[in-house]
């Protein structure tokens, strides 16, 4: 068990976009954020990315999973060895498959990368496998950042309910009320995945233009939204479900066939509008209107997406940089914060974040030999 008081922890996240690994240092006692430290990024090479893509949707023991895990462990070891001052590592790994409802058989979630290997290589305790316990206990296993987002709102000195919106491959929101004494009390936090965000836009760009993503939203800004596609998208039963709810990266993959007849710009504009409309639909579930929506993740750099969001949402939609946070690193920082909570036996999720029946602490701790 970690001694009491604040410690520097490093968190690392390999997100659903499969672009690379983010790592960042946070000084925390597991409740408050005292300081943010250095951060770094390690992109995957083309061949590494191909290995990860090939393993998407696969479970432990299936073809390609060991290779993917090796890619994840190598990239993390390289990146984290440069963040020397950390006492403890929070290692999320790479989600390859996520099925909290058991639609494919058994309820489970799979993050590639073995924390025991990293603990050995780095010579430090590593907290990992953050999601499995939550799913085993009946939760969605995601999102896990909400308790951290609550601490961010406190750290930024906010005094009214706000929403943190993460626009990665998938979108997720944390509605938080910083007037509450703790993230764990009822009414402090409500979180859920909103729908697909960048993943379908990236897939479109990759398929048609051999690029990685719609930089700045330039292509979408030139196109027109096909309202019938948008309507068909919003008819998906996911939007009728009450939170908590979470998604796998490819749950909405069929959306690409809906835009197959559109030209490139109209298809990009339509997928971008779908991502924004999904977030706006999520607003139906907020316990009270937020004073602002603070956007983190790569999607905040997509102007078409930010404009589409603001046009559908009644409060200011701003990048998290406006309250002094780092939108490239917030998820990595979240896993540093959560690692300290796990090491101290504090909960990492609860009924209002993942739908798990009671507050629970997930995560395994691996010590170096
Ligand atoms: N300049 C930019 N313009 C437009 N979109 C961008 C830009 N930079 C990044 N993105 C988008 O953001 C994505 C990366 O976002 P981020 O790193 O937050 O996702 P992630 O962490 O992999 O995903 P998740 O949060 O779902 O796990 C890219 O794949 C791209 O779609
Ligand atoms: C299963 C899984 O890896 N989910 C990710 C993914 O990426 C965004 C969204 O879907 C969110 O639910 C989650 O990540 C963030 C960091 C979270 O758990 O809060």
What pLDDT shows up at residue 234? 96
What pLDDT shows up at residue 1? 59
The rounded Å distance from CA 38 to ligand 1 centre is: 20
Q: Which residue numbers belong to the known binding site for ATP?
A: 15-22
ipTM (interface predicted TM)? 0.97
What pLDDT shows up at residue 249? 81
- Is 95's C-beta closer than 6 angstroms to any atom of ligand 1? no
DSSP state string for 171-222: EEEEEE-TTSS-TTSTTSEEEEEEEE-HHHHHHHHHHHHS-SS-GGGHHHHT
What pLDDT shows up at residue 341? 98
Structure pTM?
Answer: 0.97
Atom number in ligand 1 closest to CA 166: 25
- Ligand with an atom nearest the CA of residue 211: 1
Residues 82, 86: Cα–Cα separation, whole Å: 10
- Is 17's C-beta closer than 6 angstroms to any atom of ligand 1? yes
What pLDDT shows up at residue 4? 81
Residues 244, 297: Cα–Cα separation, whole Å: 21
Strand partners, 44: none
Sign of CA dihedral 234, 240, 350, 102: negative
Q: Which residue numbers belong to the known binding site?
A: 15-22
Nearest-CA residue for ligand 1 atom 31 is 198
The rounded Å distance from CA 90 to ligand 1 centre is: 21
- Ligand with an atom nearest the CA of residue 93: 2
- Is 43's C-beta closer than 6 angstroms to any atom of ligand 1? no
What pLDDT shows up at residue 76? 98
Residues 173, 143: Cα–Cα separation, whole Å: 8
Q: What is the pLDDT of residues 285-328, one digit of tens each?
A: 999 999 999 999 999 999 999 999 999 999 999 999 999 999 99
The rounded Å distance from CA 298 to ligand 1 centre is: 3
What pLDDT shows up at residue 104? 87
Structure tokens at 2: 């970690």
Weakly modelled stretches of the chain, pLDDT under 70: 1
The rounded Å distance from CA 145 to ligand 2 centre is: 8
The rounded Å distance from CA 98 to ligand 2 centre is: 10
Nearest-CA residue for ligand 2 atom 11 is 143
- Ligand with an atom nearest the CA of residue 301: 1
Q: What is the pLDDT of residues 169-193, one digit of tens each?
A: 999 999 999 999 999 999 999 999 9
The rounded Å distance from CA 286 to ligand 1 centre is: 25
Domain architecture of the chain: domains with CATH? 7-141+331-366 (3.30.420.40), 157-323 (3.30.420.40)
- Ligand with an atom nearest the CA of residue 299: 1
Atom number in ligand 1 closest to CA 216: 3
Nearest-CA residue for ligand 1 atom 24 is 168
Per the CB < 8 A criterion, the answer to whether 174 and 143 are in contact is: yes
Residues having CB within 6 Å of any atom of ligand 2: 15-16, 95, 98, 109, 142-145, 166, 168, 170, 172, 193, 246, 331
């Amino acid at each position: 068990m970690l001694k009491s008081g604040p410690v520097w922890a490093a968190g690392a996240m390999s997100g659903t976009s499969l672009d690379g690994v983010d790592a960042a240092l946070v000084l925390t006692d597991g409740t408050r954020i005292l300081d943010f430290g250095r951060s770094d990024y390690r992109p995957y090479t083309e061949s590494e990315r191909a290995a990860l893509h090939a393993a998407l949707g696969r479970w432990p023991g299936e073809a390609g999973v060991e290779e993917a895990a090796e890619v994840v462990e190598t990239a993390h070891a390289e990146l984290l060895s440069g963040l020397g001052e950390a006492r403890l590592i929070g290692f999320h790994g790479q989600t390859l498959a996520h099925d909290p409802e058991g639609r494919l058989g058994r309820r489970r979630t799979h993050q590639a990368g073995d924390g025991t290997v990293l603990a050995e290589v780095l010579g430090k305790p590593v907290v990992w496998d953050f999601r499995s316990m939550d799913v085993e206990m009946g939760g969605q296993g995601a999102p896990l950042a909400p308790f951290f987002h609550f601490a961010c709102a406190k750290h930024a000195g906010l005094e009214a309910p706000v929403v943190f919106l993460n626009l990665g491959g998938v979108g997720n929101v944390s509605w938080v009320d910083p007037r509450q004494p703790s993230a764990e009390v009822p009414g402090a936090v409500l979180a859920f995945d909103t729908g697909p965000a960048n993943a379908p836009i990236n897939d479109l760009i990759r398929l048609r233009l051999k690029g990685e993503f719609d930089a700045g939203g330039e292509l979408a800004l030139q196109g027109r939204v096909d309202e019938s596609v948008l309507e068909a998208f919003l008819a998906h039963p996911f939007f009728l479900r009450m939170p908590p709810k979470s998604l796998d990266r490819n749950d909405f993959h069929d959306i690409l066939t809906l835009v197959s007849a559109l030209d490139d710009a109209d298809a990009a504009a339509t997928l971008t509008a779908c991502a924004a409309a999904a977030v706006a639909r999520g607003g139906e579930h907020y316990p009270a209107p937020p004073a602002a929506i603070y956007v983190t993740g790569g999607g905040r750099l997509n102007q078409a997406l930010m404009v589409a969001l603001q046009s559908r949402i009644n409060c200011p939609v701003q990048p998290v940089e406006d309250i002094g946070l780092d939108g490239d690193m917030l998820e990595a920082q979240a896993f540093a914060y959560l690692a300290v909570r796990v090491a101290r036996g504090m909960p990492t999720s609860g009924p209002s974040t993942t739908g798990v029946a009671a507050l629970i602490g997930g995560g395994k701790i691996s010590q170096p030999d």
